[in-house]
Structure 1
Amino acid sequence: MPDTRTHKIAIVCGSLRKDSVNRRIARSICSLHDRLDCSIVEIGDLPLYNPDLDEGTPPEPWARFRDAIRDVHGVLFVYPEYNRSLPGALKNAIDVGSRPYGKSVWAKKPAAIVTASPGALGGALANHALRQCCVFLDMPVMQQPEAYLGQVTDDKFGEDGLLKDGDLKKLVTTLAGGFADWIDIIRAGRDKLLSDSEQQMKNG
């Protein structure tokens, strides 16, 4: 039977600007699939990661962010390219979520990476910079369809902030469906492992 569960998704947007094209792309992705229950987890208030601050009670924004990521089924990263790499706020959020060592909230969370830009390259280099981080973070990242969204300008969006009908919306619709399917695969695989483990324990 096909998986019909709703997936709780954290959107981590690397652009802090409230009306950025990346935020609007993120909201559009989640509006196009009824099994993606999305919420944007803000990163702009996170203090720069300093291990000294984890030795006692960590800063409240860190705790809030870690709890928000820990509680989801998957993570959607949507962000622009800054100087051919990640925005600083996004890299800091990744560092905050990955520490203290051994307590990363990212581990084993299925993820999708989307970069969008008014330019032609669509943030391709920044997209792959995060993929490199995700290897170490132990996050299974959706490989296809790839999402380097170029020439994303304000006129692609309606008054509701979501994508208008057109080729870009068709592509983003495919991305949304692909991400839901990817989480289905990861969750089903883990359910099978858990079931097998429980059965082995019963069999002694």
Structure 2
Amino acid sequence: MPSKFRLLGLSGSLRRGSYSTAVLETLSAAVTARADTTVFDIGTLPHYDQDRDGAVPPETVVELRRRITEVDGLVVVSPEFNYGIPGVLKNAIDWASRPAFASPLKGKPVLIVTCSPAFTGGVRAQSQLRETFAATLSRQVASPEVVIGQVRDKIVDGRLIDRAALNFSLGAYEALFADIAAIRAAS
């Protein structure tokens, strides 16, 4: 039997009780038979500063890059703030995207999920994340966009309970797993 997939999860929200973190944790638990997911706390990263991104970058940056290198793929779950990506998530992507064109994100499969209390589910943040990850040369999972609207009504006790949203999201995980399996087969 092939080994389990190794995933790194990033939540775009630092808030205690975050909907994004609840979605990430629920999805990670739902695929635990097939994938081991670790979550990296992006709140530990300093603000991106090219002057600090030299031969000896900050330790938390080294850790983020190491973890990305070691996994098969990333799952990014983000809220939408003011029609866009939360600054803390963009900061993490900026740190991970270095060195340019040779970062640990290059060729790495990335599944993007957005959620919002609004009915739109974070579609603007989804679009910005797709554009940002395109610049990193990562492999965005080819599946319909996973956006979870009215998320506050779909989270109970820190878990995503909406069956339709859960099943749709898990369909995107299947595309992620297929992408990773294809990469493994080619190497």
Please indicate, yes or no, whether the TM-score normalized by the shorter chain is above 0.5.
Answer: yes
Q: Residue 134 of structure 2 aligns to which amino acid in structure 1?
A: V
Q: Which has the larger radius of gyration?
A: 1
Q: Do the aligned partners of 2:142 and 2:175 also contact (CA within 8 Å) in 1?
A: no
Aligned with 2:27 (options 18, 29, 34): 29
Q: Deviations over 1:52-88 (max 9, x none)?
A: 1123421111111111111110011110111111110
- The answer to whether the 8 Å contact 2:111/2:173 transfers is no
Moved more, 29-38 or 75-84: 29-38
Q: How many Å separate the matches in 1 of 2:84 and 2:156? A: 29
Tell me the equivalent position of 2:113: 114
Aligned: 1:162 with 2:159: yes
Distance in structure 2 (CA, Å) of the matches to 1:135 and 1:39: 23
What letter corresponds to residue 169 of structure 1 in structure 2?
Answer: L
Structure 1 gap segments, 5+ residues each: 192-204
SS of residue matched to 1:15: coil
When normalised by structure 2's length, the TM-score is: 0.90
- Of residues 17, 27, 31, the one that matches 1:19 is 17
Q: How many residues align?
A: 186
Q: Distance in 2 between the 1:100 and 1:172 partners?
A: 31
- Contact 1:23 1:78 (C-alpha < 8 Å) held by counterparts: yes
CA distance in 2, matches of 1:85, 1:157: 22
Could you tell me how far 1:165 is from its partner in structure 2?
Answer: 5.6
Gaps of 5+ in 2: none
The within-5 A match list for 1:5-16 is 5-16=3-14
Over 3 Å counting, the alpha-carbon distance change for 1:167 and 1:138 in structure 2 is same
The alignment partner of 1:134 has SS state of helix
The reply on whether 1:177 has 2:159 as its aligned counterpart is no
RMSD: 1.8
Structure with more strand by fraction: 2
Assess if the C-alpha contact under 8 Å between 1:86 and 1:130 holds in 2: yes
Query: Where has structure 1 moved over 4 Å in runs of 4 or more?
Result: none
